[in-house]
Amino acid sequence: MHPLASPQRPAVVRAGTVDYLVARKEQDRLHDAVVAGTAGDTVLLLEHPAVYTAGKRTSWTDRPLDGTPVIDVDRGGRITWHGPGQLVGYPIVRLPDPIDVVAYVRRVEQVLIAACAEFGLVATRIDGRSGVWLPEREHRPARKIAAVGVRVARGVTLHGFALNCDCDLSAFDRIVPCGISDAGVTSLSVELDRTVPVAEALDVVERHLGTLLAPAGPGPNVSPASRT
């Protein structure tokens, strides 16, 4: 393990609603501090005003056809939407050596899978697709409830996850979310048939954030659905 890597739970900052670019500057500030050893592992939990962000693998065909502005970012993955009613998490944590980005992404997904379970939802991973999904059942196709996109620089993570709580899912209709054209998106509110505000999901997600720094397990919650 890196001498500065911590097995403890990261500090959590509930930041409220924050403009995307303002939050990005705060991520960068925290990242520099964690790299320098002057700050400990931290997770920002917040909401954004409506915005599209495009990761490094975004194709021009994924982007909004109506010319809606998109912020290009340096995370993995493709295009997604952030906005009111969506809980966004930015873990700024030092990874242990040897750095295993895939194992870290699996731990982020496990936080969200565990949070969904507290709401009575059986969420899963789908082989070949990023994020957290509700599997096909009762004639309903698989649908994505949370997106994950990360970057690791100098051993410390940036970007993170977005859990759809009670957001306007029509915002995803103008893009090909995460580059996946043959599956839909959903939210806690849609699946539970009641309003689940971000405030309710905050406590649930925060309870599971300690697993971000835990050793990676075999990841049994993987569905062998079709690859993209």
152-181 tens-digit pLDDT: 999 999 999 999 999 999 888 776 554 454
pLDDT > 50? residue 4: no
CA distance 184 to 145: 9
* Domain assignment of residue 4, yes or no: no
Looking at residue 5, what is its pLDDT? 47
Residue 49 lies in a domain: yes
Domain membership flag for residue 167: yes
* Secondary structure of 5-44 as H, E, C letters: CCCCCCEEEEEEECCHHHHHHHHHHHHHHHHHCCCCCEEE
pLDDT value of residue 7: 52
Whichever domain contains 71, its CATH number is 3.30.930.10
Banded model confidence at residue 68, pLDDT cuts 50, 70, 90: confident
Question: pLDDT tens digits for 187-226?
Answer: 999 999 999 999 999 999 999 998 776 644 444 344 333 2
Residue 225 lies in a domain: no
Per-residue pLDDT, averaged over 19-47, amounts to 97
Position 2 in a domain: no
Tell me which amino acid residue 215 is.
P
C-alpha to C-alpha distance for 97 and 103, rounded to whole angstroms: 12
Output the six-digit token pair for 69. Answer: 């502005």
Q: Is the pLDDT reported for residue 54 higher than 60? A: yes
∠ CA 160-164-165, nearest 5°, is 125
Nearest to 93 by CA among 147, 149, 155, 146: 155
pLDDT of residue 2: 42
Q: DSSP assignment, residue 203?
A: H
Predicted pLDDT of residue 23: 97
Most confident of 1-5, 66-70, 74-78, 92-96: 92-96
Residue 222 lies in a domain: no
At residue 223, the pLDDT reads 38
Tokens matching residue 70: 């998109």
- In a domain, residue 1? The reply is no
CA 66, CA 83: separation in Å to the nearest integer?
18
Instruction: Over range 29-48, report the average pLDDT.
Output: 97
Q: Domain containing 202: what range?
A: 11-217
pTM: 0.85
For residue 55, which of 204, 177, 192, 208 has the smallest C-alpha distance? 177
Total count of domains within the chain:
1
Tokens of 167: 């957001």
User: Considering the domain boundaries, does residue 6 fall inside one?
Assistant: no
Structure-token match 């693998």, residue found: 57
Q: Which residues contact 203 (CB under 8 A, 6 or more apart)?
A: none
- pLDDT > 80? residue 146: yes
In the residue annotation, 116 being an active-site residue is answered as: no
Non-local (6+) Cβ contacts of 98 within 8 A are none
pLDDT band at 8 (very low <50, low <70, confident <90, very high): low
pLDDT of amino acid 11: 93
